[in-house]
Structure 1
Amino acid sequence: MQWRSILLAATAGACLVLAGCGGGGSGGSGSGDSAASNASTGGSTQANALCPSSLDYSTVYTGGSGAGELVTVQLDTTAMTWKVTFLKSPIPAQTGTATPTRDTAPYNVVTGTLSRVTTLPTAKLNACAYTLNGASLDASQPARIFVGNGVAGGAIPGATLSYTSPVGTGSISPKTFPYYPFLGFSTLDTNLANVASTFNELGIHTVPTQSYTSVAVDAQYTISASGTYSECTTGSTCKTGTGAFTLDSASGTFWAADYIDEVSPTNPANAPQGTGILIVGKLRGQDVPVLVRVGAANPLTFVVDDESGIAVLGTQTTIASGSQDGEYIAVDANLQYRSVLLVGAQMSLLDPFDASNASLASTYDLDYTQSTPGVVGVTPVSGGSGETGKTIFNGGVIAYLDTASATAPYFTAGAFVESPSGSPNP
């Protein structure tokens, strides 16, 4: 396989926008669907289009952020405005404080104007990508949203974190995140029985009060119809939460109190006190579970359990080589926009805004042997380090985790766009 040719092909015709091509499952608010959800694709969509031709605030994309938040994103492509609502968040509303967090009114709703992206290779691609003006804290790194049929992803407003604890525990050193990654769906499944199963789980969490320690999430995750859950990692015992997921009817998602940690909390005496939120998007006729952990921190009450982050659950079904071929797009844990290109047993990560620049690409070999069904091994083509990562899939969503660095794991997740032949369907 000549990766230079693939990179050039990506520039010529690959769709670099999120699109749950092939339909987004059943729409409306009937049995099993969120009352807050929209038609399967959201907005007005033409046949075989990469994304809706127009959107207004009646289409609500509900999803998770890389900061460990439950968020809704709404776009009005006629008025050219955007609206982001934080439904649950560990991020303080103001720098220098621990509480309240930005899911508290009046901080919970942020609005601004939209601009169309004009720097992708074709007008067809640019028509599905927008800049959220004013959302990024760094003008040189604009926050962009890529819209597809039933799914949206990209970047939402960031934050500057900084806090000096008066009790000595729970301080956070200053750090600015220009924006946070986001992945959301316009239709949700609110019937927990539909997702009762065992999944492969990949994700990443961050602990700000522990010098922003990054924690890889790599496990097998089981959900029961009653909402109980367990998480089992290789070579360790399983973790089972004391709480269970129950439906939050206002958001159409499932919440679990006292949610399990991946690492020991900064103040373990009163932990766990975080919230687990299960978002079940419907995409291409399948349920796609996304998990966020919303950390909790209030040093004045001796609560410092601020581990927060996001994970994707993939089906434990054997993946055939070539069956997931195509283009995906995401924002990674390093806050870089990435296009993921799969062709047979090879994968490449590209910059979607400079896809023909081979110096910005990373290439990998894929191993479809799958000792665990649904987990595909990933090995860098250069470096000779052996297998360092893995990918999982579900409903056209890909998640990729690389743990070559134990202290700086790499994670990205995005949705299927189109096949190598140019078809919007796999």
Structure 2
Amino acid sequence: MTGPGTNPVATTYFVSGTVVGLKGTGLVLQNNGGDDLAVAADGPIRFATPLADGAAYAVTVKTAPSADPPQNCVVSNDAGTVGGAAVSNVAVVCTDVVQASLCPDVLDPSVTYTGGAASGEYVKVKFDSAAKRYEMTFVESPVPTSSGQRNDTRAGLTIAGDYVHPDGTALALPSARQNRCAIVLKNGKTASGSYTVAINPKAPPVLFVGHGLVVGGIPGATVQDNGLEFSGGLFLGAVPPRTFDSYPFIGFSHTVTDFTQVAGTYNELGFRVTPEGTPSQSASGVHWFGWETQAIQASQTFNADGSCTPDASQYSCFSTGAPWKLRRNADGTPDGVFTSGANPDLRYPAVGVEVFQFLVSPSLAHGIMIVGKVGDQLVPVIVRVGYIKDGQGNVLAHMLDDQAGFSLLAPATNITQAALTGRYVGTNSASVCGVVTSPGQSSRSSQVNGQMIFPSAGACTDGSASSDAGVNNGAMSFQGGSATLLNPFTLAASSGLALDFTQARPGLVTVTANTDFMSGRTPVFKAGDTGVMVKVGPVYGLLMNGVNRQFTTYDPVNNVSKVNPFLSIGVFAE
């Protein structure tokens, strides 16, 4: 009713409707770009702000629900004009998004994944999803079967054991589809029972299986050795005790055996360990502390005949000895990988300063190159298989050339920012080396490439930072030109990384850490540390602190080198 001196009251109407099919949480609707409405469950909905007659309305989804599997919510009867009555027919229907599978629906034991590990091992593994069993063959290996000796290794042994998916455990991943593609190894032993791997239930080996590849950790070992006795109680090559819960590994269901397809120029990112260490680990240049880490950040140009043409980059072609050739099995049949042996000077190349190689005959250390084929992309991985033999008192039977590790190679072609997007899951070198100690620059000079330098090196004798499952099994998220290292089980951020795509060398993206990457209270690398990143097909490689700068002057206060390399390798997940 209106009367003298009164204003008419405008009639307003609410916009309402229903939501059906909602499974997740966090759905937020909007009307006309505002008036946010949070929806927790199926049922009737109504926006809080009424509209006048003749006003326009437009209902949209502001925030999709968080659900597993993901959901897509579609609004119908979403827009119009208020026509003298409440709007009550807005309909929001939420349905599951059909996603491409992250991994095969069935793991067939007839499929073999061929790959390499940071332990210097060439490995083949099979999975049987029906029986929840795995079979792993250490085709070549420098890893001893027991502590206190190194003559008897895992080479040639096949272990079998049970596995589980991590859902329902402390290692559960954020989604059901991720859990289905993750394999946690429970145990493993040879058929005779003569060798059994030790599994740490708090940090077990975890493997992530994708289409055509597998990445993660394989069973570790405890390594210790008193060294090779030469004379008068003199021992060389002693190795202090270390227990490794797992070793980083990547493998492929298909490999290339024609080296002409491999020929080209690559960026190599690699991680190496010398078990007995070098004199560069001590300030005096006399003491060896063991477990010295080195990195490779180099260019490699492979020719069709298997040879490598070096350039000026440090350690260029140091992963190649004699030209690469197809490896053959013991029975003479061709294998699915390539091998490279010692150079004419008896040595197989080793990285680092003053690496001790005792050889009276050609070194049996060698390289294995696994060239995985994922889709139409070749993904080369190189393993340095170290070798040691205790001559049991016969000095001429001794051989020591035990540096071991692996590398990822990617084509030396520019990477676009758009090529590094999404979430990846993988493995990293923290399971081998988390805590690095170093006294700084050594006072003893060494000759490298005709130049006298005063080197620096680190030691990884403390394994306390190598038993964190959330660190060893890394994940990486790329978005908007930056990256975040993640705990794959919680998706909590472990470290932020700034990426520079300028690429002074094609294919090498410069990386700077914004925050420390911690394992417990130990920084694996620190804010401000730098590195590089590569990408090849669905695989990325990250190497932090890969260049250990050496100096020609002795000034331990000012001449500071980075001796804590960190290598991460991951495959695209989603």
* d(CA) in 2 for partners of 1:151, 1:81: 18
SS, match of residue 92 in structure 1: coil
Q: Give 2:409's aligned residue.
A: 313
Partner letter of residue 476 of structure 2? Answer: V
Structure with more relative contact order (C-alpha pairs < 8 Å, separation 6 or more):
1
Matched, 1:293 2:449: no
SS at match of 2:384: strand
Question: What CA RMSD, in Å, does the superposition of the two structures yield over aligned residues?
Answer: 2.4
Q: TM-score with structure 2 length normalisation?
A: 0.62
Aligned twin of 1:277: 368
Q: Which residue in 2 is equivalent to 1:194?
A: 261
Q: How does 1:311-350 map to 2 (within 5 A)?
A: 311-335=407-431, 336-350=472-486
Is it true that 1:120 corresponds to 2:173 in the alignment? yes
TM-score, with length taken from structure 1: 0.82
Match of 2:532 in 1: 390
Counterpart AA for 2:122: L
Cα deviations by residue, 1:171-200 (Å, 9 ceiling, x for unpaired): 111110011111000000111000101100
Is this contact kept in 2: 1:156–1:181, CA < 8 A?
A: yes
Deviations along 1:209-243, whole A, 9 cap, x unmatched?
11110001110012111111245463677658551
Contact 1:332 1:412 (C-alpha < 8 Å) held by counterparts:
yes
What is the CA distance between 1:350 and its match in structure 2? 0.4
Equivalent residue for 1:109? 158
Q: Any gaps of 5 or more consecutive residues in structure 1?
A: 1-8, 16-45, 419-426
Is the 1:137–1:159 contact (alpha carbons within 8 Å) kept by the matching residues of 2? Answer: no
Q: How far apart are 1:273 and its partner, in Å?
A: 4.1
Corresponding residue for 2:118? 66
Separation of aligned partners in 1, 2:401 and 2:201: 32
CA contact (8 A) 2:363 2:399 kept: no
Cα displacement (A) at 1:304:
1.1
Distance 1:100 1:134, change over 3 A: same
What amino acid is the match of 2:165?
A: R
Which residue in 2 is equivalent to 1:373?
Answer: 506
Query: C-alpha displacement at 1:284, in angstroms?
Result: 2.7
8 A Cα contact 1:265 1:306, kept in partner: no
How many residues align structurally? 373
| Alpha-carbon distance change, 14 to 396 in structure 1, aligned in 2, over 3 angstroms | farther
Distance 1:12 1:394, change over 3 A: farther
Who is 1:29 aligned against?
none
Q: 1:240 to 1:73 in 2, by over 3 A?
A: closer
SS at match of 1:209: coil
Decide which structure has the larger Cα Rg and report it. Answer: 2
DSSP 3-state at the match of 2:488: coil
Q: Deviations over 1:127-157 (max 9, x none)?
A: 1111111255322111111110001111111
CA 241–409 in structure 1, closer or farther in 2 if over 3 Å, else same: closer
CA distance in 1, matches of 2:570, 2:497: 17
State the alpha-carbon separation in 2 of the partners of residues 177 and 348 from structure 1.
26
**SS of residue in 1 equivalent to 2:276:** helix
Partner of 2:349: 260
SS in 1 for 2:150: coil
The answer on 1:352 being equivalent to 2:488 is: yes
Worse-matched range after superposition: 315-324 or 403-412: 403-412
The residue that corresponds to 1:92 in the other structure is 144
Secondary structure at the aligned position of 2:153 is classed as coil
**Secondary structure, in 3 states, of the residue corresponding to 2:260?**
helix
Larger mean CA deviation between 177-186 and 384-393 belongs to 384-393
Instruction: Work out the CA distance in 1 between the residues paired with 2:314 and 2:337.
Output: 31
What corresponds to 1:142 in structure 2? 204
SS at match of 2:178: helix
Q: Mark the CA change 1:389 to 1:12 in structure 2 (over 3 Å): closer, same or farther.
A: farther
Matched residue SS, 2:245? strand
